[in-house]
Amino acid sequence: MTVIDRLQRLTKEAVSPPRKAVLTPGEGTPVRETHRSGESEASCSQSEASSLKIGALRRRLDAVLARRPGGADMSPPRRREPGHPLEEIVSGMEIATAGGRFFCAASAWGMGHCHGACRLGDLPPLDMAGAAILANDAALAGLDPGRGVFLDTETTGLAGGTGTVAFLIGLGWFEGARFVVKQLFMRDFAEERAALLFLGELMADRQFLVTFNGKAFDANLLAARFVMNRLADPLAGLPHLDLLHPARRLLRCRLDNVRLGTLEGALLGLEREEDIPGWEIPQRYFQWLRHRDGGLVADIFVHNRLDVLSMAFLAARLTELIGGPVSGAAPPPPDPDLLAAARLCIHRGETARAEGILTDLRRRSGPTTARQAATLLSLIHKRAGAWNEAVAIWREMLAPDRGGPDGDALFPLLELAKWNEHRDHDYRTALELACRALDLLPPQGTATEENDLRRRIARLKRRLAGQDRPAT
């Protein structure tokens, strides 16, 4: 099947044979001179016919391509305007190291800078004891908060592995009354070694690292790049606070997700406008490598700076949740976040911090949150053997003026029944409480809960009847 036949089937139109063009004087096309030789005339006519045939085929191909979604533009490519040098768009300078040269952008914010609804000067010093709880790393507790570094990278992809390169490394830290950010940019892959050597110099006097998902991605990626360049990894062994993990523990109860942008909106009141999407960043960098237009990567620098600055604010907000120093300008954290913080402190063995959070919630919160706080606080006392404090809370939860839905009374009834049976040996009171608890079991309750209660009631009845006395 010829090309014309195939095009005919695609367009469902007959492809007519090419017609000879009639050239007349005065139409901008020179008139062909008459050839004396018959062979020359025939050859010329054949060549003209071939050209017209090719033109018809091209037009038919254009028609077929135009039918595709997002059909190809067959117009001649437009001449690209000359790009802007990187130095004209991004404030920075070229830095030379033993491994070569690279570009370093530098910026700084004073204490009056507002990031969303938060002011930099209102941030309290990072509570390192709180940071140790968040990271579950006791090594953070005794460190200087001013000697930490906030790190974020922009890479050629998200797959990781040896083929992924961190072409932009953003570093931030507090320096006196300023927050400083340095961004190490590889203008070409050959500048990687120089940038990594400079990173090692910057980290020489730093004590700890703060990232967002850095344990799973950024730190591992940089470690691989240091190995590929036969350099020692300056990040290895540093205490590391990855904000993603405590954010999940503290905020997933009220947020749909814990992506950085979501946390910025919920905790900082920050909504980024015209921010470059993350999936577009590798593509922009590869375009930069081809065209060397600073305008292609300017948005990446802005995106990276905002990421680094946001981590400084988020670290302060998350440590506030677990009992760190609170900024007077910031609104108090939501009650669900504080309850989650108390649970995290209990899980980490930081019962003193948990007691402080829960005591404050019982004092100032609404009935629902106050009962949840009382429940957690009573369990802390129970595990510590402080039975008087625990029993006092359970009895208070059953007081008429503290009454809530029937289901709220189930927990203190069960705990008091256990205490009366095993500690106070008041079987009659224990039986009464257990029967009340059985009546309050929800219809959707588990069979295990009901069976446990019925066994407890039967055992208490036997003890009251003198059939199952405890050994003395």
Q: 82-98 pLDDT, tens per residue? A: 578 999 999 999 999 99
Residue 224 to residue 22: CA distance in whole angstroms? 70
Residue-wise pLDDT tens digits, 281-292: 999 999 999 999
Residue found by looking up tokens 């830095």 in the block: 95
Q: Could you give the residue ranges of the DSSP H alpha helices within 203-297?
A: 219-228, 244-251, 260-263, 281-291
Helix axes 38-66, 3-11, angle to 10 degrees: 40
What's the pLDDT at 37? 45
**How far from 167 is each of 39, 160, 185, 195, CA to CA, in Å?**
66, 13, 6, 9
Residue 440 to residue 446: CA distance in whole angstroms? 13
E strands, 25-82, are: none
The CATH number corresponding to 86-321 among 3.30.420.10, 3.20.80.10, 3.90.1200.10, 3.40.50.1000 equals 3.30.420.10
What's the pLDDT at 396? 93
Q: Which residues of the chain have pLDDT under 70?
A: 1-52, 55, 60-82, 160, 324-330, 401-407, 445, 467-472
Residue 397 to residue 416: CA distance in whole angstroms? 11
| Cβ atoms of residues 60 and 15 within 8 Å | yes
Residue 33 to residue 15: CA distance in whole angstroms? 31
- Please report how many Cα atoms fall inside a 13 Å half-sphere around the Cα of residue 399, on the Cβ side: 11
How long is the chain?
Answer: 472
**How far from 102 is each of 24, 90, 187, CA to CA, in Å?**
64, 14, 7
| Cβ atoms of residues 388 and 372 within 8 Å | no
Which amino acid is it at 400?
A: P
In this structure, the strands spanning 114-115 and 166-175 are unpaired
Task: Give the residue among 376, 397, 379 at the shortest CA–CA distance from 387.
Answer: 379
Q: Could you give the residue ranges of the DSSP H alpha helices within 327-472?
A: 335-348, 351-364, 367-383, 387-397, 410-422, 427-440, 447-464
Residue 406 to residue 412: CA distance in whole angstroms? 11
Question: What is the DSSP code (8-state) at residue 183?
Answer: E
Question: What is the DSSP code (8-state) at residue 273?
Answer: S
Q: What does the CA dihedral 150, 151, 152, 158 come to, rounded to 10 degrees?
A: -130
Residue 96 to residue 337: CA distance in whole angstroms? 47
Mean pLDDT of the chain: 85
Classify domain 334-385 at the CATH topology level: Methane Monooxygenase Hydroxylase; Chain G, domain 1 (1.20.58)
Residue 241 to residue 237: CA distance in whole angstroms? 12
